[in-house]
Amino acid sequence: MAKETALKETAAETTAETKKAKPKKRRSKMTLVFLVFWAVVIGLTFMMIVNQAGDYNELRAEADHLAAQIAQGTAHNEDLEFQIDFFDNDAYIEQQARDRLRMVRPDEIVFRNIAAE
């Protein structure tokens, strides 16, 4: 009887250990699934951050390029405004009429050197 009792106790211990071991396997599978899930989430988040950083750098470079074009356009506009002021001056217009068109005022007398022409 002692042998039978020892066998029953051993069988009961083995059964109890087996029952305890199954939840551990289930827990370790759940832990593995949980870790894989979070690894995927973290990986995707990292990829999105890297992609957004690349997009930001491209947009920053484009904004800098456009700012340079604006500065160049502003400088060209200022140059054109200076030319408008210069060419719209009455003294400049009179000088060009005298030099290019050989115009004179009504009260002036023009002397031309025919030998030089």
Token duo for residue 24? 């551990």
pLDDT at 81: 96
d(CA 83, CA 76): 11
pTM: 0.47
Asked if the model's pLDDT at residue 113 lies above 60, the reply is yes
Residues of 7-38 as b/e, b for ≥16 C-beta within 10 angstroms? eeeeeeeeeeeeeeeeeeeeeeeeeeeeeeee
Which stretch of 33-42, 59-68, 103-112 has the lowest confidence by average pLDDT? 103-112
4-55: pLDDT as tens digits: 665 566 655 555 555 555 555 567 888 889 999 999 999 999 999 888 988 9
Would you place residue 109 in the very low, low, confident or very high pLDDT band (cuts 50, 70, 90)?
confident
Rounded (5°) CA angle 88-91-92: 55
pLDDT at 28: 85
Average of per-residue pLDDT values in the chain? 84
